[in-house]
Amino acid sequence: MQLPAGAVPEHWTIDRKAPAVKLPMPESGRVTASQGVQGSLADSPWLQSRNSVFQGQTCGTDRVDMVTGWGPMTLSLSQSRAVSSQWSSSVSIAAWKVSGTVGFSVTDTATNTETGSYAVPDGKFGTLEAYPLFDHFTFDVYDTSVGNRYVGGGDAFHPVGFCYNHWAN
């Protein structure tokens, strides 16, 4: 589990409600238009996305909600948020090819509904924040016009829940 830079681990709670993603991979390792979401073909038709590897979960860095208050009290955050999938690649490749490799649409959003809470100690001022939680996948990109040569790679992030950061001063 990866937290944002500078995060204090004991201040974070992970809440995952989404089912784990199943990765369909064709036996040949090739991804065709029928296996993904047809998108822009601005990249070379010879490029293929392959070798999806689940890297674990990571908390996003964009806060989606926050509450504060004086203790003793319990802070609670209930949210239903649409969070976009995210992806990047070192090589220009069509999103549908990456989607077929990682097992989810890298251009869609997922809506998660969850609640987090934090009991603020007496006399302290508490904060509870929510951040998106992502399943992180890496993938490789190959050029089949030059003998299946590796030409780069990328990362894809699928929203599956929320991370909660809490503290009291």
Global confidence as pTM: 0.76
Rounded to 10 degrees, what is the CA torsion of 121, 123, 125, 131? 10
Classified as helix, coil or strand, 35 is helix
Q: pLDDT by residue for the chain (169 residues), tens digit each? A: 677 777 777 777 776 655 555 544 433 333 333 333 333 335 688 999 999 999 999 999 999 999 999 999 999 998 888 999 999 999 999 999 999 999 999 999 988 888 899 999 999 999 999 999 999 999 999 999 888 899 999 999 999 999 999 999 9
Domains of the chain: 9-168 (2.170.15.20)
